[in-house]
C-alpha cells in the first residue's frame, strides 16, 4: 500500500510502502466499540458520590403518626421524597469501573481505526516534525503549512481534538512548541491508542518508518503473548 510522505512545508517528500494489515485492515465495528467502551470506562475517575437515606444527616424519627393527621404517610425525613433526603440510585465512589480487555483486541481495534482514517483521507504522513526553538508560533506555522495539502483545508480549525500528532519519544522542545495549540494533541508514538484516535478528526504521523516499526512490533508481541 502506497502513501505520500510530506515535509513540514507541506511539500511532497517521497512515497512509501506501508503494511496492508495496519493501514488497510477491514473495519470491525463491534471490536472497536468494545475497546472504546473499555478504555473510556478505565479513564473514569469514579469520584462522584451521593448519600443514600442511611447516610444523610438528621433525625430518623418518624415525622408524624401513621394515621389520623390527614397527611401522607412518611417514615423518615431522610426519604428521597423529601428535600434534603437521600438519593436513590445515585453515583457512588465505591463502584469499580475498571475493565480488562486483551492486548490483541486493543491492537486490532487500533489497526481498524487507522485503516478507517486512511481510507477517509484523514491521515498525513510527515517525514519529521522537529522544532528546536520551543516556540508556539513556529509550531503553528508548521500546521498551517500542512493545511495547504489538498484535502486538509480544515486542519487548523480552532476546535478541540481536531488533530492528533504522534512524534518520537524524548523530543521535549517539540512538545513544548505544540502544547499551547488549542486544536491539537501531541503524544509519543507509543501512546497512540484507539480512544484518542477515535475522538480526533485528523491524524498526523511523524517519523513514519519508526512509527510503523513500532506498530508492527505491538502486533507481534500481542500474538506471541496469546500463544
Same domain for 66 and 29?
no
Work out the pLDDT band at 110, boundaries 50, 70, 90.
very high
Predicted confidence at residue 225, as pLDDT, reads 64
Neighbouring-strand partners of residue 166: 187, 205
Quote the domain boundaries for residue 11: 2-44+100-226
Same domain for 140 and 156?
yes
Predicted confidence at residue 86, as pLDDT, reads 94
Segment 47-69, tens digit of pLDDT: 999 999 999 998 889 999 999 99
**How many separate domains does the chain show?**
2
Segment 120-138, tens digit of pLDDT: 999 999 998 877 777 888 8
Same domain for 126 and 202?
yes
Same domain for 78 and 6?
no
Please, where are the H alpha helices in the chain? 20-23, 29-42, 103-119, 136-146, 172-178, 194-198, 208-226
User: Rounded mean pLDDT of 10-38?
Assistant: 93
Same domain for 79 and 176?
no
Same domain for 53 and 164?
no
The Cβ of residue 225 has, within 10 Å, a number of other Cβ atoms equal to: 10
Predicted confidence at residue 114, as pLDDT, reads 94
What three-state secondary structure class fits 2?
strand
Same domain for 64 and 155?
no
Same domain for 105 and 79?
no
Residue with cell 512545508: 9
Closest CA relative to residue 222, chosen from 112, 100, 106, 115: 106
Amino acid at each position: 500500500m502506497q502513501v505520500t510522505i510530506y515535509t513540514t512545508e507541506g511539500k511532497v517528500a517521497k512515497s512509501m510502502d506501508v503494511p496492508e494489515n495496519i493501514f488497510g485492515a477491514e473495519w470491525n465495528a463491534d471490536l472497536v466499540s468494545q475497546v472504546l467502551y473499555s478504555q473510556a470506562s478505565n479513564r473514569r475517575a469514579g469520584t462522584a458520590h451521593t448519600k443514600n437515606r442511611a447516610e444523610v444527616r438528621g433525625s430518623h424519627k418518624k415525622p408524624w403518626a401513621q394515621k389520623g393527621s390527614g397527611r401522607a404517610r412518611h417514615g423518615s425525613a431522610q426519604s428521597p421524597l423529601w428535600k434534603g433526603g437521600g438519593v436513590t440510585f445515585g453515583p457512588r465512589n465505591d463502584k469499580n469501573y475498571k475493565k480488562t480487555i486483551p492486548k490483541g483486541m486493543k491492537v486490532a481495534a487500533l489497526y481498524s481505526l487507522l485503516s478507517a482514517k486512511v481510507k477517509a483521507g484523514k491521515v498525513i504522513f510527515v517525514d519529521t516534525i522537529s522544532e528546536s526553538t520551543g516556540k508556539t508560533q513556529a509550531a503553528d506555522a508548521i500546521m498551517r503549512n500542512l493545511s495547504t495539502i489538498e484535502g486538509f483545508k480544515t486542519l487548523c480549525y480552532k476546535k478541540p481534538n481536531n488533530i492528533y500528532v504522534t512524534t518520537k519519544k524524548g523530543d521535549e522542545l517539540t512538545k513544548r512548541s505544540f502544547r499551547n495549540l488549542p486544536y491539537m494533541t501531541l503524544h509519543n508514538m507509543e501512546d497512540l491508542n484507539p480512544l484518542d484516535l477515535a475522538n480526533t478528526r485528523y491524524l498526523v504521523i511523524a517519523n513514519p518508518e519508526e512509527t510503523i516499526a513500532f506498530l508492527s512490533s505491538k502486533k507481534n508481541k500481542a500474538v506471541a503473548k496469546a500463544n
